[in-house]
Structure 1
Amino acid sequence: MGVFYDQIPDHLVEWIGKQQIFWVASAPLTGNGHVNVSPKATPNCFHMVDRNRVWYEDLTGSGIETISHLREEGNGRITILFHSMEGPPRILRFWGKGTVHEFGTPEYDEYIPRENRKPGSRAVIVIDIYKVGTSCGFGVPVYKFEAHRTQLERWCDSLEEFDRKAAAESSLEMHPKGIKSWWTAENLRSHDGLPGLRVAHATDITPTNAFDRNAPRPKMKKQESGATAATSKFSSALDVKLVAAFSMGVVVTAAYVKLAGKYLK
């Protein structure tokens, strides 16, 4: 059964801090607009201010849906979902109203000092929560967390490096391969044509971040397809049988040689 609260209850605070992924959902006001659901899994990107206010660092992507929906006049609706992947099952939702603070604004800097900024960070999404709900989560499968991917941060850092080089050369032109050019090309409008970024792509502030490109990359286990896994299991079983048959053959042969030698004497 679902249980609802007016704020984040104390007993869930520690559990929230241990989760490796959360989901963000938003939608435009028009009935035929695109409903958006996005996974967020970068470490240390979700933060709690108090029991009714949270925020997360919004990183660069191919779309700008959440920001566009939050900024649509009369909208601002957003839902955050956590669910347990390990341990006891649980689903947790926050319903709230969201506010966007873009990179290049004083409000953004209040939340994220430049020395702590992640590569590709384009905004802070602040959510004022008016309802919290938990449910069983019995239908969510159990998964084992291995590691966070670093491809997004590496890619964004590579784009930002072009902006940093342009700034070092005192160039007034936006670098065509920089992240601001990406924001301009991909993040000014949503799929439905709603306005997205307003400031980040045009700011004079050079994007710097705390990413360590020399840090070791996570090693992922190779996933086998169903057919490959079945073949692998069959091969393993066949190998065991062959070894057993060979061993039996050796024993029988040895016994035969011993017996034959006895009678030949």
Structure 2
Amino acid sequence: MSKLYTKITSRLQSFIEAQKIFFVATAPNSGRINLSPKGMDSFRVLSENRVLWLNVTGSGNETAAHLLVNNRITIMFCAFEKAPNILRLYGKGKEIKEGDASWNALIQLFPETPGTRQIFDITIESAQTSCGMSIPFFEYKGERNELNTWAVEQGKEGIKKYWAAKNQESIDGLPTNIVNQK
């Protein structure tokens, strides 16, 4: 049975903190919906209605583009071990980039991560759990290091060049404003 919440309870927070993977979904007013798996130590619950997600450089920057047009965002966690559970967080998100007023305080909440691109600050409007009984069991074997290795090899300036070449627009041609990053 599903249950709707108006906040992240302590039980939901404990579930979130135990997960190794989560999924982020955003959509512009028209165009493609983006749904991406995320991992690493990149998610923080700040309060019962506020979370942060540290985003690293990737092949696209769809979330940033979508939130500029339509700030709706959904985060989904699902249990791959122990009791079945699916948790969706529904909210409004905004991008925080290096140089923004809150960057220095918020980046301190995460481990130093090569290729860090932005932080998404999400106000949670509601949360919903559902059974997850159809989700198979999977065993966590560890984090992948390829992205971190690549980012270290690029260096900060190389990453900025990559953003300028590959992360300026969504796949639907929407701007991401990443090149304005300091």
TM class, shorter-length? over 0.9
| 3-state DSSP of counterpart to 2:81 | coil
| 3-state DSSP of counterpart to 1:106 | coil
Runs of 4+ in 1 over 2 A off after TM superposition: 103-107, 113-117
Matched pairs, number: 181
Runs of 5+ consecutive residues of structure 2 not aligned to the other structure: none
Runs of 5+ consecutive residues of structure 1 not aligned to the other structure: 164-177, 204-265
* Residue number in structure 2 paired with 1:106: 101
Q: How much is the aligned-residue C-alpha RMSD, in angstroms?
A: 1.6
> What is the rounded CA distance, in whole Å, between the counterparts of 1:35 and 1:68 in structure 2?
11
Counterparts of 1:118-129 in structure 2, within 5 Å, are 118-129=113-124
Shift in Å, 1:108: 1.8
Relative to structure 1, the CA distance from residue 36 to residue 146 in structure 2 (aligned partners, 3 Å threshold; closer, same or farther) is same
TM-score by length of 1: 0.66
Matched, 1:180 2:160: yes
Counterparts of 1:94-243 in structure 2, within 5 Å, are 94-113=89-108, 116-160=111-155, 163=157, 178-196=158-176, 197-200=178-181, 203=182
* Residue number in structure 2 paired with 1:27: 27
Q: Which has the higher helix share?
A: 1
* Residue number in structure 1 paired with 2:83: 88
Out of 53, 57, 61, the residue aligned to residue 60 of structure 1 is 57
Shift in Å, 1:106: 3.2
Shift in Å, 1:115: 9.3
Do the aligned residues in 2 keep the contact of 1:105 with 1:199 (CA within 8 Å)? Answer: no
Do the aligned residues in 1 keep the contact of 2:80 with 2:138 (CA within 8 Å)? Answer: yes
TM-score by length of 2: 0.94
Matched, 1:79 2:67: no
> What is the rounded CA distance, in whole Å, between the counterparts of 1:187 and 1:101 in structure 2?
16
> What is the rounded CA distance, in whole Å, between the counterparts of 1:53 and 1:181 in structure 2?
32
Q: Structure 2 counterpart of 1:182, which letter?
A: Y
Q: Which has the higher strand share?
A: 2
Higher relative contact order (CA closer than 8 Å, sequence separation 6+):
2
* Residue number in structure 2 paired with 1:3: 3
- Of structures 1 and 2, the larger Rg is shown by 1
Matched, 1:37 2:18: no
Do the aligned residues in 2 keep the contact of 1:103 with 1:121 (CA within 8 Å)? Answer: no
For each residue in 1:222-256, what CA deviation from the matched residue of structure 2 results, as whole angstroms up to 9, or x when unmatched? xxxxxxxxxxxxxxxxxxxxxxxxxxxxxxxxxxx
Shift in Å, 1:117: 2.9
> What is the rounded CA distance, in whole Å, between the counterparts of 2:110 and 2:143 in structure 1?
21
Same amino acid, percent of matched pairs? 38
| 3-state DSSP of counterpart to 1:193 | coil
